[in-house]
Structure 1
Amino acid sequence: MTPVFSHGDLRLYLLSLLDEGPRHGYDIMQALSDRTGGTYTPSAGTIYPRLAKLEEEGLVTKTVDGRKTVYEITAAGRAEVASRAGDLEGIEADLADSVRLIADEVRGSVREAMKSLRADLAAAARDERADARTTAPADDARARSREQLHAADAAINEFRARVRSDLRSHVARGGELAASTVGDLARSLDEAARNVTRALNG
C-alpha cells in the first residue's frame, strides 16, 4: 500500500526536507524512502523536475559541488513551509498510517500462511498414526510413511516458496520489512515445529 502524495503534497514535502538543511538529489530521494518506511521510493524522473520547478519559483537554489548538485531552500521557501505547517502535519500523519497498514498486512499474511501449514502438518501426522495402527505388513506401513513424508515436504516447500515470494515482492516494491515482522515469523515457525513434534510423539 504505497502512499500516494496528493497534488502539491510532494512539493511541500520536498521543501520541508530542504528546510532541514541543504541536500543533493540522491540524498533527497533516500530521505523520502527513509521517512516513509520504504513505502515510497521516488525516481530521479519524479524528483528532479519538481526541484527545477521549485527553483523557478524562487523557493530553492542549487549549486554544483564536485559531481553533485546541492539544493538549498531560500527565505521564500522557508516562509511557505512555515505558513503550511498544518498541511505538513497532515501529510506526515497519512504517511505514518500507510507504514502501519503495510506492516499489519505482512504480519497477517505470515499468520495465515502459518495457520495453513500447521493444519496440513497436523493432518499428515494424524494420517501417519492411523496408518501405523493398521494390520498391514511392516513394508506397507513404511511405504505409507514415506508417502506422508513426501506430502509433508511438499507442504513445507510450498509454504516456504509462498512466503519468500510475498516477502521479496513486498521489499522489491519498496516496502519496509520490519524486524517485528521477521520476529513474528520466527516465533510462528518455532511454534509449528513444536506442534509437529507433539503430534508425532502423541
Structure 2
Amino acid sequence: MTPVFSHGDLRLYLLSLLDEAPRHGYDLMQALSDRTGGTYTPSAGTIYPRLSKLEEEGLVTKSVDGRKTVYAITEDGRAEVAARTGELEGIESDLADSVRLIAQEVRGNVREAMKSLRADLAAAARADRDAPPPPPADDERTETRELVRRADGVITQFRTQVRADLRTHVAHGGTLSTSLVDALERALDDAAREVTRALRDD
C-alpha cells in the first residue's frame, strides 16, 4: 500500500501538530488519523519513539497530567516549524496525494473482491444447473439442512474473525474511520444482494 509519510516527514508533521496545541500521545495518533481520513493510524510504537527523539533534541517537553503524558512544543521547536514552512506545505500536498491513492487502492480491492464473489456465485449457480437430478426428497432435505448448517458456520466464522480483528486493532491503540465502516457495510450489502439474486435464480 502507498506510504503516507516519506522518510523524516512524520517527525516534522508531529512538530506542526504540537505547534497547534499541546497533546498527549493518543491525541496525536487520533489527529493523524483524522488528517488522513482514517487511512493512516500510527501505532504507539511509531509515535512515542519519535516524541522521545524530539524531546532529546529540545524541541518538545513532556509533563504528566493525571494518567496522561502531555507533549508541548518548545521555542526551538516553534523556530524549526517556522523555518520549514515550505516543507510542511509540501508534506500537506503529498499527504493529500497519498490519501487519494490509498482510497483508490481500497476501492479497487473492494471491487476485485466483489468481482471474485460474483464469479464464485455464478460458477456455483452453473454447477447447480449442470448437476445430476436431485436425490429423493428425504435425502434432499437432509442435504439441504447440512448445507444450511455449513453456511451458518461460514457466516459465523467470518463474523468472529472480523470482530476479533477490529477489537485487536482498537486494543492496540488503533482507531476506526467512518469511511472504513461504510466500505465494510457496502461490501456486505453487495454480498447479501448477490446471494439473494443467486437464490432467486436457482
Q: TM-score range by the shorter chain?
A: 0.5 to 0.7
8 Å CA contact 2:121–2:195 kept in 1: the answer is no
Aligned residue type for 2:74: T
Are 1:52 and 2:55 an aligned pair? yes
1:157 is aligned, of 150, 154, 158, to 154
- Whole-angstrom distance in 2 between the partners of 1:67 and 1:187: 42
Per chain length, whose mean CA-contact separation is higher, i.e. which structure has more relative contact order (CA < 8 Å, sep 6+)?
2
- Whole-angstrom distance in 2 between the partners of 1:95 and 1:66: 34
The residue number in structure 1 matching 2:194 is: 192
Going from structure 1 to structure 2, the CA distance change for 1:67 and 1:115 (only over 3 Å counts) comes to: closer
Aligned residue type for 2:4: P
The residue number in structure 2 matching 1:3 is: 4
SS in 2 for 1:181: helix
Q: TM-score, normalised by structure 2?
A: 0.66
Q: TM-score, normalised by structure 1?
A: 0.66
Shift of 1:17: 0.8
**Percentage of pairs with the same residue:** 51
8 Å CA contact 1:16–1:81 kept in 2: the answer is yes
Shift of 1:89: 1.9
Question: Could you give the per-residue CA deviations for residues 70-108 of structure 1, whole angstroms, max 9, x where no partner exists?
Answer: 332234432332232221122223333333333333333
2:140 is aligned, of 135, 139, 142, to 142
Trace 1:21-170 onto structure 2 (pairs within 5 A). 21-36=21-36, 37=38, 38-43=40-45, 45-55=48-58, 59-131=59-131, 134=133, 138=136, 142=140, 146=144, 149=147, 153=151, 157=154, 161=158, 168=165
Question: Could you give the per-residue CA deviations for residues 125-146 of structure 1, whole angstroms, max 9, x where no partner exists?
Answer: 33333447x5x77459938x75
Question: Could you give the per-residue CA deviations for residues 30-58 of structure 1, whole angstroms, max 9, x where no partner exists?
Answer: 43344342343342542332231342xxx
- Structure 2 residue runs of 5 or longer lacking an equivalent are none
* Greater Cα shift, 171-180 or 59-68: 171-180
Q: Which has the larger radius of gyration?
A: 1
8 Å CA contact 1:122–1:199 kept in 2: the answer is no
8 Å CA contact 2:61–2:74 kept in 1: the answer is yes
SS in 2 for 1:71: strand
8 Å CA contact 1:29–1:47 kept in 2: the answer is no
SS in 2 for 1:6: coil
What count of residue pairs does the alignment treat as equivalent?
Answer: 191
Shift of 1:148: 11
Going from structure 1 to structure 2, the CA distance change for 1:140 and 1:105 (only over 3 Å counts) comes to: farther
- Whole-angstrom distance in 1 between the partners of 2:113 and 2:57: 47
8 Å CA contact 1:32–1:42 kept in 2: the answer is no
